[in-house]
Structure formats: structure tokens, C-alpha cells
Structure 1
Amino acid sequence: MGPEMGGKRTGCGQTFSPKPQHHRQGVEAGPQTPRHAARRAGHQSRPLGELIVKLAELTWPDLEQVSRDTVVVYPIAAFEQHGPHLPFITDTAEVAAIVDHLDAEIPDQVLCLPAQWLGYSPHHLRFKGTITAQSETHINMIVDTVSSMVHADFDKILIVNGHGGNVPNMNVSLQRLMEKCPDARIYGTSWFAYDELGEIREAGPHGWGHAGEMETSLMMALHPEWVKADRLQKDGHPPQSERAGQVSRYRWIHQSTDQGTYGDPTYGSAEKGERFISAAVEVLVRIVEDIRKGHL
């Protein structure tokens, strides 16, 4: 029968010997873990280092007992400058927290991967401290990470993006994964692009961009100790043409800002940050439900 004898073909066209699996909801190996106890006691914000350990908390026998109907959630972000008032880790801290809240909301429906902090940010390099991957490196990281989870027999995977510069590479990755893993259903979404978030903002159409109203609000809610409140200043020079939304252009951020930010962070507040997080999580819950139902 060839190399497939006794084995199972994954969605990426590879073959491996099957292990005994018990497809139950959630992880049921051993006694209740502190993480599950904390969920039942009510969700609270935790330090960044604890926000990005979901799959990382399991052993491989634990993983065998996770239902393959579970949606794997893979957060991707960036490590780049966010002006004089927010830290380099902003994008990663935000998407990690949003995915953490999603996990607390529907723990038996999702399996969350560690947040990928390295993204595509060459346009920020003029502001030193930014760390970036080249496009091909970034695409390969996404494809390899997702392929590894497909090899582990998960066929529903949702990439949750937290950085605007990642969008083109995420889309190319989805194309390649369609070809490489034809039997898997792999999705990408950017939490910051949801229409529901626009209902919360107050700073106007050019007020909530990079390190503006929304990101400043999130960081005030998540890590107020990292926000330099005495440095908040409106920045950015939006295009003057009415055709700007119909034309694509890549350019260095220092060409259109004074201090590396877009928008007006003076509109930021912790209360508003909590509302942005809740709105994003509500959308993600619906997306996960639609994926599980086969509606996407």
C-alpha cells in the first residue's frame, strides 16, 4: 500500500502514524489546572508573560485530548516604535490580551497559540529599536506555524492580526496555505479593523491611527504603567486627496509623521480601552462560532 500504510494523511499532504485520541471538549487530562480554576473564578488581566501561554501550558498527551473541532487561534503582531508615549511591545500586548479575553470567554472552543511578536515593520526602522522581519521570512513563519498545527490534526485555524503592516503578508500566507493544506480551513482577521470599534472612537477619522486614540486607550487599560501620559501629542499628516482611499502606496512612517504616530492620543482613556477590547472580543466570538458552524 505504499508509505501511507497504517498512517493518516494530514491536510498538508504529509503522512504520520496516528496516536490514540479522545476528542472531548477542552483538556481533561488530570485534575483541574490553575488556569481553568481562574477562568471559573472570573477573568482578570494578567502580565504579558502570562497572556501568551495557552498551547505552551500543555503537554503532548494533553493536546491529544483537545477536541479537533476546536478552533486554533494564532495571534500575530509586531515589535515596533509607538511614538514617545507607548512601548515597542504595544501591538503584541494588545493582541495577546484580546486573545486572552477570547479564551476566557469561550475556553472550550479555542486553543490559543503564543503571540508571534516579530512582524513586518521596515517602515518604522528610522525610529531605532524597531525589530522587523523581511516579507519572505514573515510569510514563512506564518505558513510554518499554521502547517504545524494542521500536522497536529487541527483543520480550523484563525490568524488574529494585531498590526496593520502584517496584512499583505498574512494574505499571501493564506494563499500559500490554501495550496499547501487544501483540506484545512484557515482564516485571517485583523481585530483593529472591525466596524464596531468605530462606534466607540471620539477623535474623528484621523484620530485613532498608529498609537492614537484606540491604541493609547488599550494600553491605558492593560498596562497604564507603560503609558507616558505627559507625552501625548497629536501627530500625522493624512493625505489631502479625496482619492487617497482608492490608491495604495507604501512609504516610511517618518515621511508622514513628526514623532512616529498617527492620530490623537489625548482622546485615550482606560474606560474606552476596556470598551474597545470588549467590542473586539465580541466580534471574534461570532467569527469563531461561524467557523465552527461552517458558515465561513
Structure 2
Amino acid sequence: MIHRSHSHLASPVAWLAKPYPEIVDIAENDGSVLIVPVGSLEQHGYHLPVATDTLLATAVAHAAAEDVHESLPVLVTPPIWSGCSPHHLPFGATISLETATLLEVLSDVAGRALENGFDALLFLNGHGGNMPVISSAVSDAGHEHPDREVLGLSYFHLARAVIDEVRESDPGGISHGGEFETSLMMHLYPELVDETQLEGTQRDEPYDLGRQDLFADGPLSVYRTFDEYSHSGAIGAPELATAEKGKRLFVHIETELSDLLSEIHTQNSTRK
């Protein structure tokens, strides 16, 4: 696996860099798959850029699609860069869409994209606050296009199998701008990580059934603005992040998503 350029303009799977006849030709191939990265524009503490979720979802999408593009028809759209992030608004520099607005955007993007002939569309999410909206968009777009397959996935869930081997933090150390995201950013975009400002607060959710961590998600939903958890905006242990951890996590996530894309292609190869 090779280290990709931070610019996706030269990527062989970039929708935004192709003329329209080539996009339509790829879509009309049997078992074609389109990936739509969905991120956010929200604060990530003192040390990470506000586009962290968008950058990571897009990087994962391109890496996995590039791995398989020679054996299956796949493209990646530009990311949807604003998500549902009202819990980050107290810190500033966050642009959040209303839930209904994001759902309408996702449904419209899926509808227009599928009209080009793609057999399957995968929303690849990078922000925890988007997850319920992604699920609704999958249902709405799937209902509107019963002859196509619509799927949704949060990329970070693909790291679950290896996270305990990689992490050093206790539960609460991987939440928002913590060990996990900071490690991935150190691997992919080290120039955007301010290592002099690695400051986070361990997540302390009072309800045992609530979310304790990105990988310890309880069944109880509760709304809190993130300034209730952290004065910096980062929740977790960014001081434990390393580029080596980020590389190991990224390679695993990339491989898992590549395998999923191949499976989606196989499942949809007889639709035309």
C-alpha cells in the first residue's frame, strides 16, 4: 500500500476530475459503486483542523477505492463537508446543518448520482453526529430507488477489530480529537497537527449506559454540548497519539473498506 498524495485531483477514482462521459461510462458498468464521503466542519480542539472529519473520511474513501479500481468500477465524489454538529457550536468555527437539511442534501445527492446509472451508493461517514442522519438517508434513498443499493457506514467502525491492540488510552481516551483521530491525522496530514497544543479532557459520561468512547458506545442517547465535557473542545487523550499508530489504523481501515467495496460490487453485479 502506498502513501497517497493529499490532493485527490490526480486520483483515478475522483469524480470531480473527470469529464462527464467518463463518469457515465463508469456508472454504466456492471456492479458500479459510488462513494460519497460525508464529514463536518467543526472544532477539534486546539491541535486539529476543523475539517478533520471530512479529511479523514475522504482519505479513507480514496485509498480503498484506488486499491480496487482496476478490478471494479468505482468513483468517489467530493465530500459533503458540513454535517450535523450543534453540540460543537459553543466553541465557534463550526458550521452545522439542521438535521432535516442534511437529510435532504444526502437524499438529493444520492438521487441525482444514481440517475447516472450506478448500481450501488455508499455514504462513508466521518462524524459521529451524522450517524442517525446517514441511516435515515439510506432508508429514504433506498426507498426512492428500489432498483439500486444504498448503504451507509462510519469509517471509524472499521477499526474496531484492532483498536484494543493499538490504543494506549483507557475508555474515554478516544472520543473527539483524541488518540484515534489525532494519530490518523499525524499519519496523513502531519503539517495540520499542532503538536504543541495536544490538550484533551478524558470523557466522563455520568450515565453508565451512555457513550463512553468512540468504541464503547452505550445504548443511551443524551444531548450535551461539548463544552460540558472539555474546555479545549478535544475529548480524549491526544497526547498519546503517534503517526505510527495512525498508519496502522489507516492500513487496517483501508483494507476493510476495500474488501467491502469488492463485496458490494459482487452483490450488485447482476442488476443490469
TM-score bucket (shorter structure):
0.7 to 0.9
1:130-279 map, 5 Å: 130-194=94-158, 195-198=160-163, 199-244=165-210, 245-279=218-252
Q: In structure 2, do the counterparts of structure 1 residues 258 and 70 end up closer, same or farther at CA, with 3 Å as the change threshold? A: same
Kept in 1: contact 2:31–2:267 (CA 8 A):
no
Kept in 2: contact 1:80–1:131 (CA 8 A):
yes
**Corresponding residue for 2:21?**
61
Write the distance in 2 (CA, Å) between the matches of 1:282 and 1:51.
21
Write the distance in 2 (CA, Å) between the matches of 1:126 and 1:84.
14
Write the distance in 1 (CA, Å) between the matches of 2:19 and 2:162.
37
Q: Identity over aligned residues, as a percent?
A: 31
Write the distance in 2 (CA, Å) between the matches of 1:51 and 1:82.
28
**Corresponding residue for 1:282?**
255
Aligned partner of residue 186 in structure 2, secondary structure: helix
Write the distance in 2 (CA, Å) between the matches of 1:68 and 1:87.
39
Write the distance in 2 (CA, Å) between the matches of 1:191 and 1:255.
26
Residue 48 of structure 1: how far off its partner (Å): 4.6
Residue 200 of structure 1: how far off its partner (Å): 2.0
Q: In structure 2, do the counterparts of structure 1 residues 269 and 50 end up closer, same or farther at CA, with 3 Å as the change threshold? A: farther
Q: Flag structure 2 segments of 5+ consecutive residues without an equivalent.
A: 211-217
Amino acid at match of 1:182: P
Residue 47 of structure 1: how far off its partner (Å): 2.7
Write the distance in 2 (CA, Å) between the matches of 1:234 and 1:114.
30
Count of matched residue pairs: 254
TM-score scaled to structure 2, two decimals?
0.87
**Corresponding residue for 1:70?**
32
**Corresponding residue for 1:97?**
59
Residue 111 of structure 1: how far off its partner (Å): 1.1
Residues 192-244 of structure 1 show CA distances to partners (whole Å, capped at 9, x for unaligned) of 12212413222122111100001111111111111111111231442233333
Q: Flag structure 1 segments of 5+ consecutive residues without an equivalent.
A: 1-41
1:127 to 77, 87, 91: 91
Residues 132-161 of structure 1 show CA distances to partners (whole Å, capped at 9, x for unaligned) of 111111111111111112111112111110
Aligned partner of residue 73 in structure 1, secondary structure: strand
Kept in 1: contact 2:65–2:258 (CA 8 A):
no
Residue 180 of structure 1: how far off its partner (Å): 1.0
Q: Mean Cα displacement is larger for which, 218-227 or 236-245?
A: 236-245
Aligned partner of residue 94 in structure 2, secondary structure: coil
Residues 24-55 of structure 1 show CA distances to partners (whole Å, capped at 9, x for unaligned) of xxxxxxxxxxxxxxxxxx84332356488811
Larger RCO (CA under 8 A, 6+ residues apart): 2
Amino acid at match of 2:36: Y
Q: Mean Cα displacement is larger for which, 47-56 or 62-71?
A: 47-56
* Larger Rg belongs to: 1
Q: In structure 2, do the counterparts of structure 1 residues 51 and 91 end up closer, same or farther at CA, with 3 Å as the change threshold? A: farther
**Corresponding residue for 2:45?**
83
Write the distance in 1 (CA, Å) between the matches of 2:7 and 2:176.
20
TM-score scaled to structure 1, two decimals?
0.81
Q: Mean Cα displacement is larger for which, 180-189 or 283-292?
A: 283-292
Write the distance in 2 (CA, Å) between the matches of 1:293 and 1:141.
28
Amino acid at match of 2:172: H
Kept in 1: contact 2:47–2:194 (CA 8 A):
yes
Q: Are residue 45 (structure 1) and residue 31 (structure 2) matched? A: no
